[in-house]
Amino acid sequence: MRDIGVDPEVISDAVWLACRAPSLYNSQPWRWVVDAAGIELFADPDRAPERTDTSGREVLIACGAVLDHFRVAMAVAGWMTYVETFPNPNNLDHVATIGCAPMDFVTDGHRQRADAILRRRTDRLPFAAPPRWDAVLDQFAEDQGRDVRIDALPRAVHARLADASALTVSARLYDSSYHAELLGWTAGVAVAEGIPASSLLTAGENDRVDIGRRFPTVQHDDRRTEIAEDRAEVVVLSTYDDTCHSVLRCGEVLSAVLLDATMAGLATCPLTHITEVPASREILAELIGNRGRPQVVVRVGVAPAGDEPDPPTPRRPLADVLEFAV
């Protein structure tokens, strides 16, 4: 195992934690291989909801998120990682080769960030407004780089964003394949993947969140009835092109944003439905001044202090996603 020198159990634990990363419908379209070349991350497009992610971008966003989560998980274990993305130009499913070097010291910050992976949830319920929003945006600004920009949408344009969100519903109203796929990832969810009923909304809860993918509704008592309307702030993650390198990097930045928000005590909900439909994606691009190609929208807000956190969504067994080939 070239220059890794890491105990396989450490790698296994890090992959297990990394796989808490978000993905479209919790499809988890990735696989890990540890071989003579290093720790390898591969996209697994056969797991992708192809009628929803027609471009394949969301597979790479998910892989970027799991890659950043892995770096966080290795850091708390005392290992610094260095990454070569798309090392094989003839196989773009080979997303990254990762090497490791021992760190001098694991800080409280490393531990808090790893803990945030376990605490983060995709929360589709209405939010209260986040406090000290400017400070949160300052933190987000440190996450973006030359490949990815983060734009906060002022509240004055949220109505237009809600219109763009609604446009995705009408654009797919008669798309039977899309609705069948949506139902397949939410109804009778298997124990290892998909979105369980506890993470979906009732009809009444849906009415109070005007920016979100419209999943099948569920039957139970409405939650957060004290929040009459969603007061989430919204940020848009964009790239300057749709190349695989840029989209993967967007997923890494998404991971950083979600973990920063979680560490700040905020709830989040990443959304991609608006960027899947060309007409709504164009509206979103206009809302950020046509300064990038929108990839992901993130709602950020506060969940009431008395809320019981939802149980973690299911994940595939480690044996299904990690192979030691050495």
pLDDT of residue 2: 46
Could you give the residue ranges of the DSSP H alpha helices within 102-235?
108-119, 133-143, 158-171, 176-184, 203-207
Burial 137-171 (b: 16+ CB within 10 A, else e): beebeebbeebbbbbbbeeeebeebeebbebbeeb
48 neighbors 29 (Cβ within 8 angstroms):
yes
pLDDT of residue 189: 59
pLDDT of residue 92: 95
Tokens of 268: 């989040």
Helix (H) or strand (E) holding 79: strand 79-85
Beta strands, E only, 183-279: 233-239, 267-271
pLDDT of residue 187: 79
pLDDT of residue 190: 61
Tokens 């697994």, residue located: 44
Domains in the chain and their CATH numbers? 8-120+313-324 (3.40.109.10), 133-301 (3.40.109.10)
Residues 6 and 137: their CA atoms lie apart, in Å, by 36
pTM, 2 dp = 0.96
| pLDDT beneath 50, residues of the chain | 1-3
What is the 8-class DSSP label of residue 287? H
pLDDT of residue 315: 95
Q: How far is CA 274 from CA 38, 133, 224, 237, 258, in A?
A: 37, 23, 25, 12, 19
Q: Which amino acid is located at 230 in the chain?
A: D
pLDDT of residue 75: 98
255 neighbors 65 (Cβ within 8 angstroms):
yes
